[in-house]
């Protein structure tokens, strides 16, 4: 009842295709929730609905009592929702430190930001963030020159910089090496508790390493929820993944 | 103390970024000493004004990613604001002091229209020359950026808006002087200083405005808002999900750019001694884009120099017998070459050359050090 984020009967369709069909989901404060499911299950669309990129045709999204479904994207962000995209999205022509500085959205109004850049506390903050995501040596390089894994980390660092209460991560480890994935899992473990996280992932090893509760989506609906072991044993889940070699190979 | 180190390196970077701007302005201010020719000085002042106009486009295009093909609209509005004030300062032949401007008499206008009335005050006219273009841009920007219009559509809308205003000015001959524009103006006079188009005072006024507009634009790009505007250029929606109202930032940079263009327009009237619908014409507006691209749109000083050099070249070519007919072709070819081979313009080229020199020098330094090491080893 007293949940942090609540999706109630959320539906959305694209040209007649029901991407979400009366989806229900609730997440507690400080939880790290993993969202899995076969391709086309509606995982990314669920994140799009929460952060306002897509408007639901029916249903409500409430976050700490605020109805998000009618707000603009920037208003949802100000309410405390951060989003990492599946395709790493950073400011390519800006340096790593400038990327982090933009993400530190302490003030959001134009006139409030008409002051000269950063200060010593801001710079120290940016350096601390860069260290957190292992980009200290790249601070002054344009983001365009980073490797794929580094770009992913930069965007994760930007979300930490934004300091949103609820962070939505869409496939944060896509394209990372095994070692990079492990470091990302460690980072997420540190974020857990301070932030509420919803992570869409395909890598079951990663999901098992970080997740408390796993939500499985299928055909735009919530199929099952529980620990990794519970979910894997769930007959409906086994059927949904039938033919793809089971959940661990999805 | 790492924070102290980064702070001083930040200061060094600021000085390094400011250096080209100050050097260029120093040259601009020193020019009258070398150039003892009032006619040429007026010509240079004209190119400097076009430089300010191009800086304003660099701000919205290079930094904000908003390619405004109607930048000359703001320029023209500023130019007319100044011309209206200076026209009212003349003593008309037919109606005597503080009477109707001559072209209104020719068009059988009986009373000075209400919107001309406040232009009896020069302060009002100067304020209007800055504020009216900014407000028009903000209103246009409100519709475009709230509606999330981007890219080529912004260019089409801005160009079309400029053409509409241009046609209205030509059509409303009795109030605007129509196709002839507003001519036969009084001299600008501020605090007892008269600004003769061919005098040094005018040149220094223009040079001061060059410095002012470059500094204002530079200061803006160094603020956090300026950084956010550049982030919007790179990835608009990403900025939105950090909680910034993207449209407001776009409107702000668009209006700031228009105000600087309005300042340039006012100066242009002073330097040219008239205002004309061609000041907000398609040809000028597109030329500004070429100058900006040639100079380097992501460098304010680059955009300024691009305008002065290319407009100067245009002037020289169009007056020379050999290129009388073909100078537009030369300009077109230049634009194509720059877009193909120098995407960051002359400023980008200068950066590459500077970096190359620094690397050569460092390599030479290392070579000497190695040489010393070897001789030490051999002894």
Closest by CA to A156, choosing from A179, A186, A123, A178, is: A186
Q: Which helix (H) or strand (E) covers residue A85, if one does?
A: none
Nearest Cβ partner of B3 from A53, A107, A123? Answer: A123
For A161, which residue in chain B has the nearest alpha carbon? B242
- What is the span of the domain harbouring residue A91? 31-54+72-249
Q: Which tens digits make up the pLDDT trace of A51-103? A: 999 999 999 999 998 999 999 999 999 999 999 998 889 999 999 999 999 99
CA pair distance A45, A132, nearest whole angstrom = 29
- Other C-beta atoms closer than 10 Å to the C-beta of B251 total 22
A32-36 and A196-200 strand pairing: parallel
Average pLDDT for A45-52: 93
- Provide the 8-state DSSP code for A29: T
pLDDT digits (tens, 9 = 90+) for A160-169: 999 999 999 9
Structure tokens at B116: 């001309």
Q: How far is Cα of residue B183 from the mean position of the Cα atoms in its chain?
A: 23
A103 touching B (Cβ < 8 Å): yes
Instruction: Count CA atoms closer than 13 A to B25's CA, side-chain side.
Output: 20
Give a yes or no: residue A162 inside a domain: yes
Please indicate, yes or no, if residue A161 is contained in any of the structural domains. yes
Residue of B nearest to A85 (CA): B238
Q: Report how far apart, in Å, the C-alpha atoms of B134 and of each of B16, B254, B358 are.
A: 31, 8, 42
CATH code of A152's domain: 3.40.50.300
Assess whether pLDDT exceeds 90 at residue B151.
no
CA distance B67 to B59: 10
Q: What percent of chain B has pLDDT over 90?
A: 58
Q: How many residues appear in chain B?
A: 379
Q: Give domain status of residue A120, yes or no.
A: yes
In a domain, A26, yes or no: no
Per-residue pLDDT of B310-354, as tens digits, reads 998 888 888 877 777 787 788 788 888 888 888 888 888 888 898
Binary contact (B231, A94; C-beta < 8 A): yes
Task: Give the pLDDT band (50/70/90) at residue B377.
Answer: very low
**In this complex, how many residue pairs, one in chain A and one in chain B, have their CB atoms less than 8 Å apart?**
98
Three-state SS for B191? coil
A221 domain residue, yes or no: yes
3-state helix, strand, coil in chain B (%, to 5): 75, 0, 20
pLDDT given for residue A143 in this prediction? 94
- Residue A66 DSSP symbol: E
pLDDT, position B235: 93
Tell if the CB–CB gap between B228 and A98 is shorter than 8 Å: no
User: Of B231, B65, B229, nearest to B151 (Cα)?
Assistant: B65
Between CA A185 and CA A26 the distance in angstroms is 23
Residue B29 burial class via C-beta count within 10 angstroms: exposed 0-12, middle 13-18, buried 19 and up: middle
Number of domains in chain A: 1
B237 and chain A in contact, CB less than 8 A: yes
Q: What is the mean pLDDT of residues B179-193?
A: 90
Categorize the per-residue pLDDT at B257 as very low, low, confident or very high, splitting at 50, 70 and 90: very high
How many CB atoms neighbour CB B200 within 10 A? 14
What confidence tier does A189 reach under pLDDT thresholds 50, 70, 90? confident
With a CB-CB cutoff of 8 Å, which residues 44-63 of chain A face chain B?
A: 51, 53
d(CA B306, CA B331): 12
Residue A63 lies in a domain: no
A20-29, A41-50, B131-140, B309-318: least confidently modelled range: B309-318
Interchain proximity B246–A120, CB inside 8 Å: no
A22 assigned to some structural domain: no
In a domain, A177, yes or no: yes
Task: pLDDT band for B379, please (50, 70, 90 cuts).
Answer: very low
């Amino acid at each position: 009842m007293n949940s942090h984020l609540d999706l109630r009967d959320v539906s959305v369709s694209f040209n007649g295709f029901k991407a979400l069909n009366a989806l229900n989901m609730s997440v507690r404060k400080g939880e790290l929730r993993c969202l899995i499911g076969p391709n086309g299950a509606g995982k990314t669309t669920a994140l799009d609905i929460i952060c306002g990129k897509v408007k639901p045709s029916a249903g409500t999204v409430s976050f700490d009592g605020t109805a998000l479904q009618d707000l603009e994207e920037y208003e949802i962000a100000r309410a405390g929702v951060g989003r990492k995209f599946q395709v790493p999205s950073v400011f390519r022509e800006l340096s790593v430190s400038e990327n982090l500085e933009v993400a530190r959205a302490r003030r959001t109004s134009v006139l409030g930001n008409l002051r000269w850049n950063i200060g010593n506390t801001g710079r120290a903050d940016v350096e601390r963030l860069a260290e957190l995501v292992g980009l200290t040596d790249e601070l002054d390089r344009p983001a365009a020159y980073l490797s794929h894994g580094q770009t992913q980390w930069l965007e994760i660092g930007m979300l930490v910089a934004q300091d949103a209460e609820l962070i939505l991560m869409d496939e944060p480890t896509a394209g990372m090496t095994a070692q990079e994935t492990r470091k990302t899992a460690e980072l997420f473990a540190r974020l857990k508790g301070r932030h509420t996280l919803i992570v869409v992932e395909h890598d079951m090893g990663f999901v098992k390493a970080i997740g408390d509760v796993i939500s499985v989506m299928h055909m735009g609906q919530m199929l099952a929820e529980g620990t990794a072991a519970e979910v894997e044993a769930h007959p409906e889940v086994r059927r949904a993944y039938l033919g793809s070699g089971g959940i661990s190979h999805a | 103390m790492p924070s102290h180190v980064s702070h001083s390196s930040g200061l060094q970077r600021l000085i390094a970024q400011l250096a080209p701007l100050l050097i260029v302005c120093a040259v601009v201010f020193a020019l009258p000493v070398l150039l003892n020719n009032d006619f040429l000085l007026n010509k240079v002042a004209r190119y400097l004004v076009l430089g300010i106009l191009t800086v304003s486009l660099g701000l919205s295009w290079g930094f904000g990613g908003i390619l405004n093909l109607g930048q000359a609209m703001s320029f023209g509005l500023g130019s007319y604001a100044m011309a209206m004030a200076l026209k009212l300062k003349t003593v008309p032949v037919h109606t005597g002091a503080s009477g109707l401007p001559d072209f209104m008499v020719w068009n059988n206008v009986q009373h000075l229209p209400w919107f001309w009335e406040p232009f009896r005050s020069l302060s009002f006219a100067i304020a209007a020359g800055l504020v009216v273009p900014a407000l028009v841009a903000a209103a246009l920007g409100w519709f475009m950026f709230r509606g999330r219009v981007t890219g080529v559509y912004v260019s089409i809308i801005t160009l079309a808006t400029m053409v509409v205003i241009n046609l209205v000015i030509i059509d409303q001959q009795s109030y605007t002087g129509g196709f002839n524009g507003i001519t036969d103006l009084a001299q600008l006079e501020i605090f007892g200083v008269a600004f003769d188009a061919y005098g040094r005072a005018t040149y220094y006024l223009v040079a001061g405005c060059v410095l002012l507009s470059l500094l204002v634009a530079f200061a803006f790009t160094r603020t956090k808002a300026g950084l956010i505007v550049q982030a919007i250029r790179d990835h608009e929606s990403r900025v939105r999900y950090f909680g910034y109202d993207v449209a407001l930032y776009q409107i702000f940079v668009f209006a700031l750019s228009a105000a600087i263009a309005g300042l340039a327009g006012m100066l242009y009237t002073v330097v040219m001694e008239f205002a004309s619908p061609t000041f907000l014409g398609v040809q000028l507006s597109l030329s500004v884009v070429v100058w900006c691209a040639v100079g380097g749109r992501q460098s304010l000083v680059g955009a300024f120099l691009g305008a002065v050099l290319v407009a100067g070249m245009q002037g020289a070519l169009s007056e020379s017998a050999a290129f009388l007919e073909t100078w537009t072709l030369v300009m077109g070819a230049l634009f194509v070459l720059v877009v193909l081979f120098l995407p960051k313009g002359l400023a980008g080229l200068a950066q590459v050359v500077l970096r190359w020199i620094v690397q050569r020098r460092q390599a030479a330094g290392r070579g000497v050090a190695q040489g010393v090491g070897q001789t030490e080893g051999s002894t």
